[in-house]
């Protein structure tokens, strides 16, 4: 078996593969869904945790700040979009 990057429904996983199938190493499948996060935020957070190597509980314990950083990174994208919408809204009302 070799370790691969497996992508399923837009989510990246570290996994073992024997060529026929895969066994997910992490991040845990469905973890972000179980805490009720909406799409596409859930997938974005999942992939950020993958990129930061937060694949299991021990990884999170060792790098607690990285978990918080993952959330902040995922939210920063939404804040940027919100900021752009505010700018567009203000621009539209000025033009009227």
The least confident of 3-12, 63-72, 83-92 is: 83-92
Going by the DSSP 8-state scheme, the letter that residue 38 receives in this structure is P
| Per-residue tokens: 65 | 């700040």
CA distance 23 to 78: 32
Concatenated DSSP letters of 52-67: TT--SHHHHHHTHHHH
Give the pLDDT score at 96. 66
CA distance 54 to 81: 26
CB 44 within 8 A of CB 74: yes
Structural domain boundaries in the chain: 29-95
Is pLDDT of 20 > 80? yes
Question: How do residues 51-61 score in pLDDT, each as one tens digit?
Answer: 999 999 999 99
Q: In which band, very low, low, confident or very high, does the pLDDT at 64 lie, cut at 50, 70 and 90?
A: confident
Is pLDDT of 50 > 70? yes
Mean pLDDT of the chain: 90
């Amino acid at each position: 078996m070799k370790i691969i990057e497996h992508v399923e429904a837009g989510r990246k996983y570290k996994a073992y593969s024997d060529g026929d199938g895969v066994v997910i190493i992490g991040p845990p499948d469905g973890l972000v869904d179980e805490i009720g996060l909406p799409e596409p935020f859930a997938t974005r957070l999942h992939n950020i945790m993958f990129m930061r190597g937060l694949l299991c509980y021990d990884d999170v314990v060792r790098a607690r700040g990285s978990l918080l950083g993952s959330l902040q990174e995922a939210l920063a994208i939404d804040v940027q979009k919100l900021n752009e919408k505010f700018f567009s809204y203000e621009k539209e009302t000025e033009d009227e």
